[in-house]
């Protein structure tokens, strides 16, 4: 099997790691994905654009998965060192 569940797990882990280390000042604001107070919706309005959902996803991954990612990465590194 060329593309198994293990490789799918590695791909997902690497993509989540890539999103988690994006720097807002250096990278995200240059491409227009930074959180700025001027772009937010007015009180009582909801903004459901794709861009706002991507910004929310990036900030959620950076906020919620930072500590668990450290542990998961350590486990994957130990697994790869032991079982190769």
- State pLDDT tens for residues 37-82: 455 565 656 677 787 788 788 888 888 888 899 999 999 999 999 9
Round to whole Å and give the CA distance between 81 and 11.
18
- Supply the pTM of this predicted model: 0.70
Mean pLDDT, range 5-33, rounded to an integer: 83
Token pair for 19: 């999103």
């Amino acid at each position: 099997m060329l593309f198994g569940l293990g490789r799918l797990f590695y791909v997902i882990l690497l993509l989540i790691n890539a999103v988690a280390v994006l720097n807002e000042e250096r990278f995200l604001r240059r491409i227009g994905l930074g959180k700025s107070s001027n772009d937010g919706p007015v009180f009582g309005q909801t903004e459901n654009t794709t861009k706002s959902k991507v910004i929310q996803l990036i900030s959620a991954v950076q906020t919620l998965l930072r500590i668990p990612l450290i542990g998961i990465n350590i486990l994957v590194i130990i697994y790869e060192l032991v079982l190769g």
